[in-house]
């Protein structure tokens, strides 16, 4: 069976942090799907989750973390990078266990759930602590983002992983659009009232 090639048609985010956050949202969506899926689908989703996390961890370890250690000056912030790398190692242990399981295994769902909680914790620390710290440095996040995207697509092609559209953001109606809708409905209501009043008057005139 021929390997699928990830498409580069999907717009890559503008910088490293945007790209990595997009990866986070994609994996979170896959974990949500896993919760409600049947066994055959859970097997596919677990494989997809493991593959995406392996790629994500590898591009961070190869490109982002070394650059971050050089750019960050505060010792506590540099320690965040070291902690993130250690968390990757623990996540990889769970991934390896899941890859060796099937949905028939008693601990399959529980292990995926533990991985989900572990990833949530890791994502929270990266997005709330590490990423804001990186934004304050002179690190060229756009250049790093380009390198991350290229390496990501190369790894996905190597592994035969298909690219996935990122989760669509929930769009809220703007206040102006809501106002226009309300005004339109009000005009329609007034027009309807006038039509009814006109019809009643016509009826009374006809009877007289």
- What confidence tens digit (pLDDT) does each residue in 73-95 have? 999 999 999 999 999 999 999 99
Share of the chain above pLDDT 70, in %: 72
Domain containing residue 207? 172-208
Asked if residue 152 and residue 67 are part of one domain, the reply reads yes
What beta strand segments (E) does 81-202 contain?
none
**d(C-alpha 73, C-alpha 65), whole Å:** 14
Q: What's residue 40's pLDDT? A: 87
Take residue 99 and report the two structure tokens written for it. 């890859």
Instruction: Average the pLDDT over 104-114 and give the result.
Output: 96
Task: Tell whether the torsion through CA atoms of 95, 117, 80 and 164 is positive or negative.
Answer: positive
As for how many domains the chain has, the answer is 2
> Mean pLDDT over all residues of the chain?
82
State yes or no: pLDDT of 171 exceeds 60: no
Which of 119, 134, 159 is a domain's end point? 159
Asked if residue 154 and residue 65 are part of one domain, the reply reads yes
Asked if residue 181 and residue 142 are part of one domain, the reply reads no
Asked if residue 207 and residue 122 are part of one domain, the reply reads no
Asked if residue 155 and residue 122 are part of one domain, the reply reads yes
Range scoring the smallest mean pLDDT among 11-15, 18-22, 125-129, 168-172: 168-172
Q: How confident is the model at residue 29 (pLDDT cuts 50, 70, 90)?
A: very high
Asked if residue 115 and residue 66 are part of one domain, the reply reads yes
Q: How confident is the model at residue 166 (pLDDT cuts 50, 70, 90)?
A: low
Asked if residue 140 and residue 115 are part of one domain, the reply reads yes
158 vs 199: which has the higher pLDDT? 158
CATH of the domain at 93: 1.20.120
**d(C-alpha 203, C-alpha 208), whole Å:** 9
Asked if residue 117 and residue 22 are part of one domain, the reply reads yes
68 within some domain: yes
pTM of the predicted model, to two decimals?
0.74
């Amino acid at each position: 069976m021929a390997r699928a090639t990830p498409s580069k048609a999907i717009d890559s985010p503008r910088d490293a942090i945007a790209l990595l956050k997009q990866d986070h949202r994609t994996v979170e969506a896959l974990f949500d799907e896993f919760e409600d899926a049947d066994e055959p689908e859970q097997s596919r989703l677990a494989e997809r989750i493991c593959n995406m996390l392996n790629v994500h961890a590898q591009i961070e370890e190869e490109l982002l973390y070394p650059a971050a250690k050089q750019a960050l000056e505060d010792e506590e912030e540099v320690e965040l990078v070291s902690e993130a790398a250690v968390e990757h190692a623990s996540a990889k242990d769970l991934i390896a266990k899941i890859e060796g399981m099937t949905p028939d295994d008693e601990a399959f769902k529980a292990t995926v759930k533990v991985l989900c909680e572990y990833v949530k914790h890791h994502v929270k620390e990266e997005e709330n602590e590490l990423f804001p710290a990186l934004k304050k440095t002179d690190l060229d996040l756009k250049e790093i983002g380009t390198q991350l995207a290229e390496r990501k697509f190369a790894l996905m092609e190597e592994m035969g992983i298909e690219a996935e559209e990122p989760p669509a953001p929930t769009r809220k109606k703007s206040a102006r659009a809501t106002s226009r809708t309300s005004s339109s409905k009000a005009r329609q209501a007034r027009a309807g009232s006038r039509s009814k009043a006109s019809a009643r008057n016509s009826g009374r005139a006809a009877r007289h």
